[in-house]
Chain A
Amino acid sequence: VLVGVNVLLTLLARIELSLLLPIFRALLLFGVVILAFQLLFQEGDRFLDFGPVGLHTEGFFITARVWLRLANLSLLFVGFMMWTHPTDIALMWVGFRVPYRYALLGGLALRFFPILQNEVVRIQDAQQVRGQPLHRTWQRIKGLTTILLPFVLGALRRTTQIALAMELRGFGYAEKRTFLRTIGMRPVDWCLAVVVMLLVALRLLLLAGYA
């Protein structure tokens, strides 16, 4: 049900479901491996024996429960990031009275994520030109050692330039700053927050065995 709700929320946010395919692909792969672990190592009734090794029925139920739990978590987090602009996340932190110097760091990270991803590809290309094979996955893993140092040094060189540019623009000069747009909690948001907290409290009570 919750997976359905998450997918519905994604549709309501006008996000194409095909964007979620890579997540489901990763979850499927993860599910297969975790199923193997649970079937082999869980205790309980055996439904198949290979000499001393047996497959346990309980593994199916636990894997299903774990897979649905992780699918929900992944969809929820990734969905939230898809339908929320990084600026809104920064404004939310500012709303929670986090100093703006730190509230804006999330946006900075998301801004530089694709740039540094491209930089890794450029360094890999440069190493390939110098004769290092990086076609297969295993070769890429081995090649990471030769990529690590130029990548880290490049990022640190970029650091000093960005910090200087930000200081020149007066970032961090004033204790407080204003924003073009602000976001705040509306009455309906408070109501939803209370409902969620009550549900969490109810779940905790159920877990503790008081219900």
Chain B
Amino acid sequence: MSQSDLSANVNVSYLEQMQGKLWRWDLVAIVGSVLLGVVMTVLAAVMERVDTALTGGAFVILGAINFYTIAALATLLFRLPGGLIAGQTNAFIAVATGTSPMAPWFIPTNAAFAIIYALVIWKFRMDRWWHHLLANVLGVWLSMLIIAWGLLVTIELPLNIVVISYLVTSVAGSLGATVLSIVLANAVDRSRVLQ
């Protein structure tokens, strides 16, 4: 889909135009995904440091809400490639700048979330709040298993702490991302900034 295809349908909302699509490979999608990945990392620089200061990185609550919100938004706007590129951009910068001790684990986690979320939004119209909740719950709870494994292997936390961390982060991440991604996606749609 090119930029002219999008601007030709100005009467149809951007999110409606994206319904039923799994792929987008145009330059707007690629550049937009990279910039959303950078946005995610800039915000994470504040949030993950607070998480690390409070819990040593075992409970990445604010970091999870930030990551899953922007990753969901990137996937909603630019579909599977968008989610993958935004997630990997975030992981790349996090590894490069040493923002979080768990940064190397973001690479598979971010990819898993983007794939699961994109598959759900491909099959649903995403015009009901529970569509968003379903996509986020599936994406967050499954991808967080990778982070939980990372906490066990890299930080060698006891299993009971890892389970508590997994539950707390997944609940906060899925609920926070659902609310914020709906608000942001609707705001982007109304602003017509991508049309």
Contacts and interface: CB of A to CB of B under 8 A. Distances in A.
Contact of A109 (B93, B183, B184): B93
Given A41-B160, A65-B156, A109-B92, A152 B42 contact: no
Contact of A37 (B26, B39, B58): B58
Chain B interface, >50% SS class = helix
B103 A151 contact: no
Given A26-B52, A141-B50, A152 B188 contact: yes
Contacts, number: 162
Interface string A42-64: 11000000000000000000100
B38 A153 contact: no
17 contacts: A37-B161, A66-B156, A73-B104, A102-B30, A105-B85, A113-B42, A116-B38, A149-B184, A151-B39, A152-B73, A152-B184, A155-B32, A156-B193, A158-B35, A162-B31, A164-B3, A167-B27
B161 A41 contact: yes
Contacts of B103: 77
Contacts of A29: 52-53
Interface string B60-93: 0010000000100100010000000100010011
Contact of A163 (B31, B70, B101, B154): B31
Given A113-B38, A159-B32, A69 B154 contact: yes
A160 B160 CA distance: 47
A49 B161 CA distance: 20
Interface of A: 23, 26-27, 29-30, 32-34, 36-38, 41-43, 62, 65-66, 69-70, 73-74, 77-78, 81, 101-102, 105-106, 108-110, 112-113, 116-117, 120, 137, 140-141, 144, 148-149, 151-153, 155-160, 162-164, 166-167, 171-172
9 closest cross-chain pairs (CB), A and B: A33-B56, A81-B96, A159-B32, A163-B27, A163-B28, A74-B98, A34-B56, A155-B35, A78-B98
A43 B191 CA distance: 55
A172 B27 contact: yes
Contacts of A148: 43, 180, 184
Interface of B: 3, 26-28, 30-32, 34-39, 41-43, 45-47, 49-50, 52-58, 62, 70, 73, 77, 85, 89, 92-93, 95-98, 101, 103-104, 154-158, 160-161, 180, 183-184, 187-188, 191, 193-194
A151 to B, nearest CB: 6
Contact of B35 (A26, A42, A112, A164): A112
Given A27-B101, A108-B34, A163-B32, A70 B154 contact: yes
Contacts of B35: 112, 116, 155-156, 158-159, 162
Contacts of A163: 3, 26-28, 30-32
A76 B46 CA distance: 23
A159 B193 CA distance: 9
B194 A41 contact: no
